[in-house]
Structure 1
């Protein structure tokens, strides 16, 4: 365990310190989340002019932004510290995973589980979430903590953590699956479920937190409805669960906890490990988001842990043979998803050449900072909603100028905004598939040309 901890820690910290803005490069999703956190830390509001000039953007629950805003309050703002937060949360996920392996397995099974864990956590598709200012690291940590609570027979605490996870991301809905199975099992077997005082308190806190979010939604109900329409339109633009192949995969992995319930005649650690694994896979299948690729790795790893636990308690030969066959199929899937399968992230993956280059030279960032310092209040500057905005939040706050996107908002392209300046920051590290979004007349070309400051008033006169 010490060796695994050292290896994962070394890799994750190497990426953060040596490829801090190269893997992955700055992303516009980060701009959306960090800007709301920055604004809340300074004004107590989630309203960000650059995201929507008319109202608060409501497309995501505020839990992650609240955490970041607290970090900014204590340590000050920087793009770097935003990514450090994700790095620490990812290491926290690994730590909780080690505890799960320790309490469920021993001997050769534990050592094998650690190898599988390395495969899941060191995959580039998983490492990507360790160095990006998105909420995957936070909600994964919460869901793994809820699994740990369940494995320690604290079912209500596990449910409370999942409910709290809903304040971070709507993906919490997939992790209600184990608790639905738990309730159904208790009803069918007429078993009681005891809840301790601490667990009851956790449930009350989770309920109050959800109620507070509900009030926040009611206050901004029109914006919430509009942004949810955008989200559902985006999700439904792809087949539910990835189409027939996704449904087939989901059905096959759901068979595993079902068979475990039959073989063990109990709802034990093996079934809960598998159910959480299914939840990660369902989240990824239906998420249609490049950053969710880690969910396959974590899902198949947890399913393999569940099968390993089964092999330790089942004595019949046919059961062990069945477990071995299932484990072989799961290992193939884990290896497949850990090593390949996402062309969007493949274009961003670490390469040796990255060690000798920067996404943007420091001199270019300093040049834009000096430019922002000269701007009068309320001057508007567009970066094309490219992710580069995050370098300059503090600078805009001090000058009183405003960064903005070119579109009307992050959920509505038109009517396009009129801006005073356009800053085009280009880099050879931008993947080509992003260029289709540069519709405002200033497309990136994928060249290391730095940042060009374009006065839009002169452009209009031309």
Structure 2
């Protein structure tokens, strides 16, 4: 575990903006958090000049805003939040192991946990200002609560996670199965007073989000239309192969229920594993790939837990065989090659170079601070914008994308300046999104400032 902590901190300190490089998702989420910390509003001119962008629940942005209030704003601080949350995930995972397994099974489970947490797909989430670490921490906490038979608390944490990301819907699966099982078996379900309070808090948080949505219902519907169009552009659950994978994985908790004749730890572990896998298959997002490893890890833990509880030799052997298959799948999905992630996986070459030299960042920072209020500057929505949010706030100038908004391309905006920051670390496939006439070339050419409006004052 000391090794895991050292690796995570090494990534944050030595590869702070190289693994991964700045991403445009960070621009969207950090900008709303930064504005909320300053003005109490999620409206960001650069995302949409007319209204608040509503494509994501605000939970992660609220957390970032609180951190900015306490520690001040910087791009570094934003990524440190994910680093700390990731270490929190590891601590909760240890507690899950402690409750679920004993003896050699626990030691094997810890090795599998390290395989999951040290996967490049997982490590990258510890160093990017996205919400994967926050909602995954909440999901693991909900699993931990349910393993302690505090099912209502577990459900409350899943509901709370819905204010961070819509992916919480997949983690209603264990509780749907629990309720169905209790009804069929005519078993009672006790809810403690603290659990009831947690449910009330979670429902209140969801109600608050609902009021926020109602206040911005037009923008919400428009942005959700964009999100669904994006998701439905790919086959649901990844197509036939994805549905088959989910079906096979669901066989594990189904057989556990039949074999043990009770809803207990081994079934919970497996159901949470299936939820992580389904989230990845149906999310169609490169940042979700980490969840494959976590899902198969939990399925392996569930099979190992069953092998301890079942007395029949054949049943024990079958559980071990399932665990071996899950471990093999975890190994494959933890370290496979993908065209999206391969360009920015850690390497020795990245240790001796920076994504952008400090001199280039300082040059743009000085330029932004010299601009008169209202001047508009586009960075091509490339992910480097968070370096300069504080500078724009100081000068009164406005950063902007080239498109009408982050969910609508046309009509394009009229801008005063274009700043293009290029680096050899930028994958070639990202240039496909540079449609505004200033494409990146994956070269170490630094930041180029171009005046687009001859009538503006100031020197580029």
| Bin for the TM-score computed over the shorter chain | over 0.9
Which of 243, 249, 262 is matched with 1:266 structurally?
262
1:358 and 2:354 correspond: yes
1:19 positional shift: 0.1
The answer for the alignment partner of 1:146 in structure 2 is: 142
Distance in 2 between the 1:347 and 1:424 partners? 20
1:345 and 2:345 correspond: no
Cα-to-partner distance string for 1:132-189 (whole Å, 9 max, x where unaligned) = 0000000000000000000001000000000000000000000000000000011001
Distance in 2 between the 1:99 and 1:13 partners? 21
Distance in 1 between the 2:453 and 2:29 partners? 30
1:101 and 2:76 correspond: no
Distance in 1 between the 2:125 and 2:159 partners? 22
- TM-score normalised per structure 2: 0.98
Distance in 2 between the 1:293 and 1:364 partners? 33
- Counterparts of 1:125-136 in structure 2, within 5 Å, are 125-136=121-132
Is the CA contact 1:290–1:342 (under 8 Å) kept in the aligned structure 2?
A: no
1:165 and 2:165 correspond: no
Distance in 1 between the 2:152 and 2:38 partners? 36
Distance in 1 between the 2:134 and 2:22 partners? 19
Cα-to-partner distance string for 1:101-142 (whole Å, 9 max, x where unaligned) = 011111111110011011111000110100000000000000
Distance in 2 between the 1:373 and 1:327 partners? 58
Which of 306, 309, 328 is matched with 1:310 structurally?
306
Cα-to-partner distance string for 1:414-457 (whole Å, 9 max, x where unaligned) = 10001100001000000000001001000001000000010112
The answer for the alignment partner of 1:89 in structure 2 is: 85
Distance in 2 between the 1:211 and 1:417 partners? 35
Is the CA contact 1:124–1:338 (under 8 Å) kept in the aligned structure 2?
A: yes
- Counterparts of 1:10-49 in structure 2, within 5 Å, are 10-49=6-45
- Counterparts of 1:47-66 in structure 2, within 5 Å, are 47-66=43-62
Which of 324, 331, 336 is matched with 2:320 structurally?
324
The answer for the alignment partner of 1:336 in structure 2 is: 332
Cα-to-partner distance string for 1:257-286 (whole Å, 9 max, x where unaligned) = 000001111000000000000000000000
Is the CA contact 1:407–1:416 (under 8 Å) kept in the aligned structure 2?
A: yes
Is the CA contact 2:301–2:323 (under 8 Å) kept in the aligned structure 1?
A: no
Q: 255-264 or 315-324: which moved more?
A: 315-324
- SS of the equivalent of 1:396 reads helix
- Counterparts of 1:405-416 in structure 2, within 5 Å, are 405-416=401-412
Segments ≥4 residues shifted beyond 4 Å: none
Distance in 2 between the 1:431 and 1:237 partners? 23
The answer for the alignment partner of 1:420 in structure 2 is: 416
Q: 353-362 or 326-335: which moved more?
A: 326-335
1:298 and 2:284 correspond: no
1:317 positional shift: 1.0
- Counterparts of 1:121-270 in structure 2, within 5 Å, are 121-270=117-266
List gaps (5 residues or longer) in structure 2: none
Q: 317-326 or 90-99: which moved more?
A: 317-326
List gaps (5 residues or longer) in structure 1: none
- TM-score normalised per structure 1: 0.98
Is the CA contact 2:308–2:316 (under 8 Å) kept in the aligned structure 1?
A: no
Is the CA contact 2:417–2:452 (under 8 Å) kept in the aligned structure 1?
A: yes
Cα-to-partner distance string for 1:293-319 (whole Å, 9 max, x where unaligned) = 000010000011111110111110110
Is the CA contact 1:293–1:342 (under 8 Å) kept in the aligned structure 2?
A: no
1:347 positional shift: 1.4
1:459 positional shift: 11
The answer for the alignment partner of 1:6 in structure 2 is: 2
- SS of the equivalent of 1:453 reads strand
- SS of the equivalent of 2:418 reads strand
Distance in 1 between the 2:110 and 2:175 partners? 27
1:342 positional shift: 2.6
Distance in 2 between the 1:397 and 1:426 partners? 24
- How well do the aligned residues superpose, as a CA RMSD in angstroms? 0.9
- SS of the equivalent of 1:425 reads strand
Distance in 2 between the 1:126 and 1:139 partners? 14
Distance in 2 between the 1:230 and 1:397 partners? 29
- Counterparts of 1:421-440 in structure 2, within 5 Å, are 421-440=417-436
Distance in 2 between the 1:445 and 1:271 partners? 50
Q: 223-232 or 322-331: which moved more?
A: 322-331
Distance in 1 between the 2:453 and 2:121 partners? 43
Distance in 2 between the 1:16 and 1:329 partners? 33
Is the CA contact 1:380–1:402 (under 8 Å) kept in the aligned structure 2?
A: yes
